[in-house]
Amino acid sequence: MTQQSQAFIDSLLKASGVGVIPEGASWLKEHQSVARSRALAKELPKVSDEKWRFTDISPLYRTSLSRPDPEGVVDHSVLKAFYIPEATQTAVLINGVYASELSLGSTGAGVKVLNLERALKDPKLSELIREKIADRDNEEFGIFNDINNALFADILIVEVGPNTDSGDVIHILNVSSGKSSFNHPRVLVVAREGSRGTIIEDYIGVGGNGYMVNSVFQCSVERGAELAHIKLQRDDVTAYHLSQTTAEIQRDAGYKNWSISVGALASRHDVNVIQMEVGGTSSLRGLAIGNGKRLVDTHSVVEHRHPNGQSSQLHKTIANDQSNIVFNGKIKVHKGAQQTNASQQNRNLILSRRASVDTKPELEIFADDVKCAHGATVGEMSDEELFYLKTRGLDETSARNLLNYAFAREVIEDNPISSITSIVESYIRQSSIVE
């Protein structure tokens, strides 16, 4: 391990014991201790690693980060601008810890939104937490997963009860408030058999800059359930955002994900969707907007482990200025997963000669009765289309806004929350300006 890597890891892990892990949860404290040991034995990602060869986050390792000031106060009035109007409940996490005094609304019968301390008092949820935390003890998730395991200070648990279809929209607002600080949000969602649920996972920065977010989001969609999950990453432009999403789909269940990245100086989102039983459907929609010198990386793996699974993925990017956007998407069809129907498309729009896109769609198939397809394109804005709109009276900026929105619309138009579309539109307008 290099001296720089060692110093950075040590600076994070010295926060040992900080948080709100409840008394009596000795198994959880032991788990975090083991995770620290695993993290100390590993090296941080570098561009010589295959999975990180286009994603250089080494500037992060040269920063000096500390845990946020526990006395730091986030004003309720500041958060007003970030609440989602369609949400029936907004659960606010401040630097990874649930803040009941800033959270709003309530859910109907059959839906629970709990922090770790309250959830551990429910024997069934306590066992679920233990099971899902154990699932993360896996080498394939890498060092940042181990660091989250070692340092999460709270877990937000959302449980949608069996056959519950209340129409609740749960907004999880992750707020980073510290300067040159780090936090490790953790969310666990379970949609019980036959239920329907909608989750908005949202990341912002308030009063802080130069911070690092290192989050883990796990969800389990049980038999016949349907879960809609929107991830909106709009962190401060000086932040580093590292996140991992894992979705496990049971028999005949459905999972829809919209992942939108419009913030942070550098971000990396690892998505892993796993078909755990026969049947099941997943839909992934992604939009990454790069401007300035932003680095935006999305790595996804969709695993078909059993027959009759269906998946579709559409990932679009808009790269401007000197930004660098990375997409690596893999569909893996295991032996015996016959009659799988899977598709993946990546479309990239480059608005500046100094911007770059690196894309790598992959198919890994070990079954012979399948229907699978993938493809990727990289192109520039059409001069003909731009000229046409300008001859119809639009100025340069308005014409570019319209073409960018038309390009991105396919990703966001079918999301169930209309205000998300409006938020994304404002970022698309910012991306239209060309130096």
Nearest Cα residue to 386 out of 371, 397, 374: 397
Strands 182-183 and 212-221: parallel
What angle, rounded to 10 degrees, do the helices at 383-391 and 396-412 form?
A: 120
- Rounded mean pLDDT for each run of 10 residues along the chain, 435 residues in total: 76 65 79 89 92 95 84 82 96 94 92 94 92 81 92 95 94 94 96 97 91 97 98 97 98 98 97 97 97 96 97 97 97 97 97 95 95 93 82 84 89 92 86 55
What angle, rounded to 10 degrees, do the helices at 123-135 and 26-40 form?
A: 10
Percent composition of the chain: helix, strand, coil (DSSP 3-state, to 5): 25, 35, 35
State the Cα–Cα distance between residues 268 and 242, nearest whole angstrom: 5
Question: What residue segments make up the domains of the chain, in order of their start?
Answer: 3-277
State the Cα–Cα distance between residues 255 and 283, nearest whole angstrom: 6
Nearest Cα residue to 4 out of 47, 63, 54: 63
Contacts of 257 (CB under 8 A, 6+ apart): 229, 230, 231, 245, 247, 271, 273, 282, 283, 284, 285
Q: Tokens 């130069």 appear where?
A: 210
pLDDT at position 19 is 52
pLDDT at position 75 is 84
pLDDT at position 89 is 97
pLDDT at position 20 is 60
pLDDT at position 18 is 46
Start-to-end CA distance of the chain, whole Å, equals 41
Strands 212-221 and 254-261: unpaired
